[in-house]
Structure 1
């Protein structure tokens, strides 16, 4: 076999590991909670610390690849991710596990953005590159299907630490394969790192995450929580001002002048809000309330992921029939309906009561796949790479908010309940699902308005021309 196909295997395996780590641990959370004696907020930090660092550094990873070469940055990211996985698997306390997960996020942020850059280098022929990108894309769908069931099986039959330790041999093998198969070839591009923008965005995200996770325990009107919210707001404003003046900003704000890009980013983010939220809290609900074993809880998510993957394959045809705006709106409607119906499932429910709504959710989620291509196709020449980076970051940030915002609502509702702990959790879970359904359904008019075809193409060209001019 040609060495370049082995290189594709290394790139795909590395990316698969980072995707898998987004959801493999969710089903194991009740086990981790019992063995480490953690609260709900502690579990949120385990998941959020990874996403927080991953989202905050993703654009930096792409810029470092331009400076030092995609192969070097990919190898560095894979090394960091593998070593951090070892630390996470051996952790004996919540603080150590959270710190290791944050370092995993550093590795993922270096590894993931360089993957497509490497495929461009490895496969200069457009036809071969298309096949390679298609194979690479399957890794995301596989991770959603395999992550929960793998995490459930491991946490039920082995020590929970193996959900992270399995990355060590896989990471070591992938590292060796990458060093052998991926040739170091790149043209150095001179860039400056937007360190002020990076600092401002990191502070804003961390302060907001801290306030949302710790708000219930510390008190929403306590000085530390109010200060965290204020710091997040001030840092966010500072970030916008820095990006407007930076010579090479982390995020080019002029992209948001295009209606389709702005609407697509918001809609895609809300999709991520729903996916991250339902995976995190439903894993706890299935085990703590419905009494599912970890393996059964993991298996419950598989039909959702598989249906989403199948519909994703068909979604381009659907969008050609209905139009991208209507297709995305229909997908959000199905997702919102599924979340709302799940909110009515009681404590005595079985798998048959859950399955229809998980399948419906998968149907809706798969219809959003054409969104990325539609948004990026409207970008001016030379801007699709930057736009893709912003779109990916927005998904991670909205996913982080899906966990922290819904977690804050669940904790507040649970604390206000007079019932036993499990009844209080169920009440909080059902309440947050209603809120999540309302948020997802609110994206329908956004999709219909922003993703509609332009009545006058010239009107859509003006903001793009302005963006192209601002880049020169």
Structure 2
């Protein structure tokens, strides 16, 4: 490849960092906006779950195919197409009159992110041909992506404070237009002449299966697990996902090579990534509702109060990378999962009136634990994947974490809604409301989650309680429900610690390998690698 001018390299770095920054920012910035969006659009808790999952599901399910399309049709082309789709989706979200259009916009954002993300790194790799300059560029790209994840809640809170929740989507428009204006004329196109075929049957099956599964989990709280709709969705999901595995085991060029999972350490690392995504979203999704809807904090104050989690992740992830190179991946993963579990168990002590002085250090423990897990998981995957599949292995790890985020929102949301209804009945009965009346109230307001105390249905009821007593009962019922969600997340972390301790052998990471430096080994890897925040 002929030499590229310094100005083109700088523009490529700026454009790819801008694109990937927006993708990661939108995975976390939306969390602090959820309570405000719920109140403004008169939505239920299930709507908030779909606001998160519509994005993460389409992102996770299409990411591997995005890499293949980028290889075959051009990295620049797919990156720019993904950027345009992401911007259109952002505009849909910002101008939405209701949650239905919001979900459409979030799906478009997820599709755009899946096309944009693999191309972001592969454009860097193909433009920065000199190894040292390439490593430096990837280091900057990784640091920017880490900043996006860490700053999301604070940025979201600030935007809502100075404007409203729609600003968290509108902010993408000037950034994206700038990236397009620079990228369209100046990015250098590249392809992989040996790109594999697109696995269309596998892609259709996995999207259909995961969509039916997530729909069943989210709607189960309102429909009931034994309803024909939920049972039908679960059956269809199982059939589609089993068919997906059969197709992947027989097709010549699968989007997900199942033989990689024959390695037990590779499988455990990806299962750990699922649990990690599950825990991160479980904590952040409900803590924002606790801080805003129960404790009455504003969006900006909520973003500031969540900083111990994001700062812990941002600070300790690089430290875990250095520790991994000295001791191997097993000690930092076990340390991180145990710390995260401790933080989650401590969060079970939250009450509606808990002072922040008793909260911040629990969040810091959780964030520190999560930070210790990212980099070692990447090392486990790369050290147990053949060089020819290193980029694919890294991309599968990222996909696994996104699947965990999607499942965490759906599973824990369904659990909280179910427990919330039961807890409302218990709290009202304790305050002298007849059980039949309490059950009727719970059935009408439980689906609103933390916003139940402001539910329109509640205002129409005649109750032998003062508004203050009713508000206190509902807040206590919601917080008690969160305790169970935190317990489930803590168990996931402890299970991860046990599995890693038993099944991942102690082995130092090779400090000099290309993969450890963030340099993909093959053209296929260039298209698919998405390094962790290490």
TM-score scaled to structure 1, two decimals? Answer: 0.94
Residue number in structure 1 paired with 2:264: 259
Q: Spell out the pairing of 1:53-64 with structure 2 (5 A cutoff).
A: 53-64=58-69
Structure showing greater radius of gyration is: 2
Equivalent position of 1:452 in the other structure = 505
Which residue is equivalent to 1:465?
Answer: none
CA distance in 2, matches of 1:381, 1:146: 34
Contact 2:351 2:476 in 1 (8 A): no
1:307-456 equivalent positions in 2, closer than 5 A: 307-368=312-373, 369-417=375-423, 418=425, 419=427, 420-453=473-506
Residue 469 of structure 1 corresponds to: none
- Correspondence for 1:71: 76
Residue by residue, what CA displacement relative to the aligned partner does 1:197-248 show, whole Å, maximum 9, x if unpaired?
Answer: 1111111100111011010101111000011111111111111101001111
Contact 1:264 1:450 (8 Å CA) reproduced: no
CA shift, 1:316, in A, is 2.5
SS of 2:48's equivalent? helix
Rounded to whole Å, the distance in 2 between the matches of 1:145 and 1:260 is 29
Q: 1:25·1:163 contact (CA, 8 Å) conserved in 2?
A: yes
2: CA distance, partners of 1:99 / 1:67: 28
**Structure 1 stretch 263-272 or stretch 251-260: which is displaced more?**
263-272
Q: 1:37 Cα shift?
A: 0.3
Write the deviation string for residues 320-364 of structure 1: whole angstroms up to 9, x where unpaired. 444311210110000011011011111111221111011111211
1:116-169 CA-partner distances (Å, limit 9, x unpaired): 211110111111111111111112321122210111122233121111011011
Match of 2:217 among 188, 212, 215: 212
Q: Which runs of 5+ in 1 are unaligned?
A: 456-472
Can you list the C-alpha shifts for 1:389-414, whole angstroms capped at 9, x where unaligned? 21111111011111111111101101
Deviates more, 1:306-315 or 1:237-246: 306-315
For residue 376 of structure 1, report the CA deviation from its aligned partner: 0.8
Q: Structure 1: how far apart are the matches of 2:346 and 2:308?
A: 17
The answer on 1:81 being equivalent to 2:86 is yes
Q: Deviations over 1:45-97 (max 9, x none)?
A: 11110111111111111010111110100010001101110111000101000
Classify the secondary structure of the residue corresponding to 1:153: helix
Structure 2 CA distance for aligned equivalents of residues 397 and 260 of structure 1: 19
Distance in 2 (alpha carbons) for counterparts of 1:424 and 1:140 = 37
Q: In the aligned structure 2, how far is the partner of 1:58 from the partner of 1:375?
A: 18
Displacement of 1:190 after TM fit?
4.5
Cα pair 2:205 2:244 within 8 Å, conserved: yes
Deviation at 1:187, TM superposition (A): 4.0
Quote the residue 2:228 is aligned against.
223
Output one character per residue of 1:361-399: Cα deviation in whole Å (capped at 9) or x when no partner: 121111112220332122112111221221111111011
Distance 2:212 2:31 in 1: 23
Q: Structure 2 length as normaliser, TM-score?
A: 0.83
Cα drift, residue 296 of structure 1:
0.8
CA distance in 2, matches of 1:411, 1:61: 35
Moved over 4 A (4+): none
CA distance in 2 between partners of 1:411 and 1:185 (Å): 49
Q: 1:423, CA displacement in angstroms?
A: 2.1
1:287 aligns with 2:340: no
8 Å Cα contact 1:4-1:181 kept in structure 2: no
